[in-house]
Amino acid sequence: MKSLKLFITLFALSPLLVFGQEFEKGDKVMSFGIGIGSSIGSFSTSGQMPALSAQYEQGVWDIGGQGVISLGGYIGYKAFTYDYSSSSYSYEQKWDYILLGVRSAYHWNGHNVDKLDLYGGLMLGYYLLNYSYSDSNGSSTGRDSYNNTGGLSLYLGSRYYFTENLGAFAEIGYGVAYLNVGLALKLQ
């Protein structure tokens, strides 16, 4: 929770701390992130991996000097395992979630700050869930797909560019993780 409060504070103060890079019509950005916190698999687990994501977006509509609307795609992955063991019986369950999405964001360019891209948007996504089970009695299931579902999510983010084409990003929202951080690469 402390890291979420820190991120929100830095996000709010970021126009005072850095100098801005506008996101423009025609810009193309590829981002790779690691996420923490998730509503996926909100049950007790024995092990889980951080959420991994990749996203692409391109500026497509200029909104009269104050901003640009982008469109793009998203893929995210998160996995959980649950192991149980007693003296005579044990079992293991595995869940693999893949999120495929189409995203659109509004990039606000009215801040007059270099190296910074502030944005917020929404994503229409589809969760694919694979589940497997095995136990010490020889019972098992293969990789079964079930409970696949679609949904709409909102997010807020910022990118800070260290060079003209390489930067870091942070996003809060609902997807494979509540907080995603990683690298952003502006494509030529």
Q: Where are the domains of the chain?
A: 35-155+167-187
pLDDT for 117 equals 93
pLDDT tens sequence across 7-48 = 455 454 444 344 446 788 999 999 999 998 877 765 555 677
Q: Which residue has the higher pLDDT, 147 or 124?
A: 124
Examine the pLDDT at 75 and tell me if it is beyond 90: yes
| Of 153, 147, 83, 159, the residue nearest 117 (C-alpha) | 159
The two tokens of residue 13 are 């103060």
Q: Taking CA 55 as the corner, what is the angle to CA 52 and CA 57, rounded to the nearest 5 degrees?
A: 165
- Count the residues in the chain: 188
3-state secondary structure of 6: helix
pLDDT for 2 equals 56
Examine the pLDDT at 175 and tell me if it is beyond 90: no
Q: Is the pTM of this model over 0.85?
A: no
